[in-house]
Structure 1
């Protein structure tokens, strides 16, 4: 190899960056992914709003709009706000939980200490046990989901053609007028049942995929030049994190899709679908088990891409911030 990328900071230095770094990194990663993939989210909502919609019919309906391009990005603003701030709150909360868990666990703290093995790992975050990753991811997502629930309801209804909302503020006013505060939290039970296990499983599988893919770094073709020890190249880390995020996102999306389908029905038609149990029974009786997997392909595709982009960008931003803080600290030594 003629060029070796500069060493990336260790997981301990990166993960000890101020909370503002994790908030900003999560916000940027969330907004970018939400705007880029909004058409997939819009199609998923249209397919899930009724059992009679297919992807092709949903595309045709949207394509008949006077302004085709803006029509496919309908709901991009609430989606970017929800996903951006949701990611910011989630990543900040997750990092805080994982930092405390790593501090309390001597084993985790030892793993997080820079070693020759850790240097060849793509992660720039604390290393925890599978159980700790599962609990941390679920807790952080449930908290972020509750805070952002009003934006989620507005986003879903704005995307749907069951409502003729002309603006986000108009949607908010109508929801408050007809349903008051509870209307902004319609479907939170299904959302929490979907997101908390999803996020917990995601963090667990993401870390496992990273661990397995990072092990390929020991392959002779991927090692630095003979006699030269270096941390994993940033470009290779980004590729591994993107691939791990994509695999984890697709896997967890398949598992949690029934909750997503039920959640969408409750948020769009709260008077017909009152809660998780009633909505699930009605969907299965009237439309079959297949209805619980409406929008699966769209959701798996979107989640795989959005998760991969978000986690790759987040880890790279945290890694670079860690490098900056590390260099600044060395100058003052």
Structure 2
């Protein structure tokens, strides 16, 4: 997709994400017109129209834009790969029946038809939209916050630690938002007949295991997502910086937006492959615990084994997460470009106070 550099991008941006400041020139007239007082405007946290104002870095509008970008990048991409996620979860839970990627799709097609490939898409969309909002919005906040604490010199010297700390802090919050949706999603996808989706699955889940049951998988989810996100953000930032430093002859600010977004996708894809490997054992645990009532981590280890935890469903997850992460960074940075912000990475750590 081409993202041309155009003077005004306002028509491309949903109207609820910005406010406009229109000004109609007063025609010259010898007759003095009576001016009516305008009501005092209350402070707004909406994103200003890019054609009128530039969003100040690290302002409330900046963090609002990053949060909105996170919603689009995570919610849409996870929903798009629902068929892959569904096969992966079933391979983890029932490997005797779902022996491989190809046979897994074949079993689903025979038993549930094409419609079955998208079972659980609603909790996926809503859960990962909530997670993406917190993940990206709070990452930008904590990255700046920890840079301010470290000071200019240390923030630049230890920028990777800033990336790691900022992403870990953001993911702790993001997983609290995701966990209930993830619990229902796994149950819907791996137990045919349990429920059609979120609307009937959520109340049925609560009746069976109580509200606390929605967070039964929170600790394993943290175990999966925190290492994943730390790898995702720190690796992405360093890969993008290395690409601009070693592979592109121009400074980042002289590169076209199309090239910058290509770098974002490439850096995201490479980071995603590493993320999938690091977080896969915990991903198997999350699927196992959310599928079986009363199951424990010990039960999962005994049944799957250490090797099974590390490798079951891994090839499919590498393909899924690599593509997913690359697309997420591409969408996130494309949204930032549309609202007048620079793409992520390839520049020094945030300036401190």
* TM-based fold match above 0.5: yes
1:294 to 293, 312, 316: 312
CA contact (8 A) 1:283 1:292 kept: no
Q: Look up the match of 1:200.
A: 230
C-alpha distance in structure 1 between counterparts of 2:165 and 2:129, whole Å: 22
C-alpha distance in structure 2 between counterparts of 1:6 and 1:59, whole Å: 44
Query: Does the alignment pair 1:161 with 2:213?
Result: no
1:45 to 86, 89, 92: 89
Q: CA deviation at 1:102?
A: 2.7
Distance 1:218 1:291, change over 3 A: closer
Q: Look up the match of 2:263.
A: 240
Q: CA deviation at 1:99?
A: 1.9
Q: Look up the match of 1:36.
A: 80
Query: Does the alignment pair 1:280 with 2:328?
Result: no
Q: Which has the larger radius of gyration?
A: 2
Superposed CA deviations along residues 228-270 of structure 1, whole A, max 9, x for unmatched, are x952211111111101111111112112111111111001013
C-alpha distance in structure 1 between counterparts of 2:177 and 2:138, whole Å: 12
Q: Look up the match of 1:61.
A: 107
2:327 to 309, 320, 327: 309
Q: Look up the match of 2:209.
A: 179
Distance 1:27 1:230, change over 3 A: closer
Query: Does the alignment pair 1:102 with 2:120?
Result: no
Distance 1:34 1:238, change over 3 A: same
Distance 1:282 1:25, change over 3 A: same
Q: CA deviation at 1:190?
A: 1.0
Superposed CA deviations along residues 44-83 of structure 1, whole A, max 9, x for unmatched, are 1111112322223321111114541x22111111111111
CA contact (8 A) 1:46 1:161 kept: no
C-alpha distance in structure 2 between counterparts of 1:91 and 1:230, whole Å: 22
C-alpha distance in structure 2 between counterparts of 1:296 and 1:230, whole Å: 38
Matches within 5 A, 1:80-95: 80-95=125-140
CA contact (8 A) 2:130 2:177 kept: no
**Would you tell me which structure has more helix in proportion to its own residues?**
1
CA contact (8 A) 2:160 2:234 kept: yes
Deviates more, 1:295-304 or 1:260-269: 295-304
Q: Look up the match of 1:120.
A: none
What is the number of residues matched between the two proteins?
290
CA contact (8 A) 1:14 1:322 kept: no
Q: Cα RMSD (Å) of the superposition? A: 2.8
